[in-house]
């Protein structure tokens, strides 16, 4: 008689103990359902005749159990109102002491994020609706660790058209964002990984947590230098983070030659390659050496980090190891978001969104627009480093510590340059990294006002 269900509008899962009498088993099962909260105060129980039929018991047995629970105060019974759960006092659970959520900054110029208030909600809803209607039943089950073929096919076309990437669906692996992509790559290489210095500290931590030693890869005015004695190197060629320097053509050739000759893995992190404002975006390094360069991208800067969709375009010899690592990491990335993004790309809604964001961010940064970012920094006599691209600028300043202190007092979130060095004590330059894409449109000028005050002694 175990795991019997009723038609009371909720699944009671009445587990009738065979060691008890039938009446006693019903009493205990209903009593425990009330105590556990599965039957809320005021919930109406099924009529004795109906419950008896569903449990395969005599009606008198169920009626006697109800009468006993009414007598104990668990149930109430009124003519015409049926039998309901009585309003019982619940034992209180001690509150767990938790720290309240930290309030966000008053002015957010943190680098590394787009303006998420501009997420294309309407287009995403339409794409999701179309994708769900067209999706095969298998889309809701376990799938290929490489990701949905619809998205891999769309990405192969899009990346070839916009970034000059040589890709086929078979060489693409969809990941849960760039962070997972980086962790997967670190897990399949055998040896130390060179990462740009300065560079993003969190990405160094991701590689270290995957069990790989991290060595600094110096960055100069031509971008990342050529590493030596490592199993892999991670670079940001289109727009180095945080200096903003693009990788020089000679350095591009030198790095691909290094990867080809050494057999090491060269990872191209194309985190904001679509956003260049003074000319056509630089093509991906991978397009010149597709058998030796791993191309990594994501939707985090174009749509928003909450989408959690990234991708790797892999040389043939790295496909199977990365697919195997992905399988054991999380089997595969969720499918519905993949199908929606595939639809956005196929219908060119993604292209339209990127073009709109590119125009908006260029205007925020533009030196030609009075009272906006670069024009303000020019007026302060502060150098802005990096090409006209991406979602951040590097503002060099002789007293980084004082600027960050004033920013904190103003409720302004920016990043210091010092924290980006592998050894902050050996930092050769000071300054702040300003993410001008982060604020919503209505909050942008107020954030720039706060930045101006923070940079002024």
Give pLDDT tens digits for 128-138.
Answer: 999 999 999 99
Q: How far apart are CA 327 and CA 315, in angstroms?
A: 18
**Tell me, what's the pLDDT at 82?**
85
Q: Could you give all domains of the chain from N- to C-terminal order, each with its CATH number?
A: 22-85 (1.10.10.10), 119-353 (3.40.640.10), 361-455 (3.90.1150.10)
**Tell me, what's the pLDDT at 94?**
59
Q: What's the pLDDT tens digit per position in 281-308?
A: 889 999 999 999 999 999 999 999 999 9
**Tell me, what's the pLDDT at 100?**
63
**Tell me, what's the pLDDT at 14?**
75
Whether residue 90 has pLDDT greater than 90: no
pLDDT band at 334 (very low <50, low <70, confident <90, very high): very high
**What's the mean pLDDT in 181-195?**
98
Whether residue 215 has pLDDT greater than 60: yes
- Please state, for a pLDDT cut of 90, what percent of the chain lies above it: 73
Whether residue 203 has pLDDT greater than 80: yes
Whether residue 340 has pLDDT greater than 80: yes
pTM of the model: 0.80
Whether residue 81 has pLDDT greater than 60: yes
Whether residue 236 has pLDDT greater than 50: yes
Whether residue 43 has pLDDT greater than 70: yes
**Tell me, what's the pLDDT at 51?**
86
**Tell me, what's the pLDDT at 357?**
95
* Least confident stretch, 18-27, 100-109, 158-167: 100-109
**Tell me, what's the pLDDT at 343?**
97
Whether residue 93 has pLDDT greater than 80: no
- Please state, for a pLDDT cut of 70, what percent of the chain lies above it: 93
* Least confident stretch, 14-18, 154-158, 230-234: 14-18
Which of 50 and 92 is assigned the larger pLDDT?
Answer: 50
Q: What's the pLDDT tens digit per position in 358-387?
A: 999 999 987 666 668 988 898 899 988 888
* Least confident stretch, 35-39, 157-161, 238-242, 389-393: 35-39
Q: What's the pLDDT tens digit per position in 405-451?
A: 999 999 999 999 999 999 998 888 899 999 999 999 999 999 999 99
State the chain's mean pLDDT as an integer.
91
Q: How far apart are CA 7 and CA 3, in angstroms?
A: 13
Whether residue 12 has pLDDT greater than 60: no
């Amino acid at each position: 008689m175990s795991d019997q269900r009723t038609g009371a509008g909720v699944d009671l899962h009445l587990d009738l103990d065979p060691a008890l009498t039938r009446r006693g088993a019903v009493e205990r099962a209903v009593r425990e359902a009330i105590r556990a909260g599965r039957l809320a105060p005021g919930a109406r129980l099924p009529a004795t005749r109906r419950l008896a039929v569903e449990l395969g018991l005599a009606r008198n047995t169920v009626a006697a159990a109800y009468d006993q629970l009414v007598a104990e105060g668990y149930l109430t019974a009124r003519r015409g109102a049926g039998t309901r759960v009585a309003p019982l006092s619940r034992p209180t659970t001690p509150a767990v002491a938790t720290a309240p959520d930290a309030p966000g900054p008053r002015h957010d110029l943190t680098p590394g994020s787009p303006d998420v208030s501009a997420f294309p909600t309407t287009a995403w809803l339409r794409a999701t609706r179309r994708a769900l209607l067209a999706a095969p039943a298998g889309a809701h089950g376990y799938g290929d660790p490489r990701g949905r073929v619809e998205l891999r096919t769309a990405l192969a076309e899009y990346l070839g058209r916009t970034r000059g990437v040589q890709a086929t669906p078979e060489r693409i692996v969809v990941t849960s964002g760039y962070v997972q992509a980086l962790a997967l790559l670190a897990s399949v290489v055998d040896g130390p990984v060179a990462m740009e210095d300065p560079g993003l500290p969190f990405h160094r931590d991701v590689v270290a947590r995957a069990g790989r030693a991290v060595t600094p890869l110096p960055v100069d005015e031509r971008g990342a230098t050529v590493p030596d004695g490592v199993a892999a190197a991670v670079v940001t060629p289109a727009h180095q983070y945080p200096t903003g320097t693009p990788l020089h053509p000679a350095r591009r050739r030198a790095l691909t030659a290094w990867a080809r000759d050494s057999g090491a893995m060269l990872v191209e992190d194309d985190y904001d390659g679509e956003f260049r404002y003074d000319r056509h975006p630089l093509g991906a390094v991978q397009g010149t050496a597709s058998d030796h360069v791993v191309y990594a991208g994501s939707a985090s800067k174009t749509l928003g980090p909450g989408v959690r969709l990234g991708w790797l375009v892999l040389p043939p010899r790295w496909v199977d190891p990365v697919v195997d690592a992905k399988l054991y990491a999380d089997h595969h990335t969720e499918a519905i978001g993949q199908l929606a993004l595939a639809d956005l790309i196929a219908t060119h809604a993604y292209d339209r969104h990127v073009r709109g964001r590119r125009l908006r961010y260029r205007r925020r940064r533009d030196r030609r627009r009075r009272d906006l970012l670069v024009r303000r920094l020019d007026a302060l006599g502060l150098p802005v480093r990096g090409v006209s691209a991406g979602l951040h600028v590097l503002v060099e300043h002789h007293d980084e510590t004082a600027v960050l202190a004033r920013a904190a007092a103003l409720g302004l979130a920016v990043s210091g340059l010092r924290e980006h060095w592998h050894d902050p004590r050996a930092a050769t330059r000071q300054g702040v990294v300003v993410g001008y894409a982060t604020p919503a449109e209505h909050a942008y000028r107020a954030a720039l006002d706060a930045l101006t005050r923070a940079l002024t002694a």
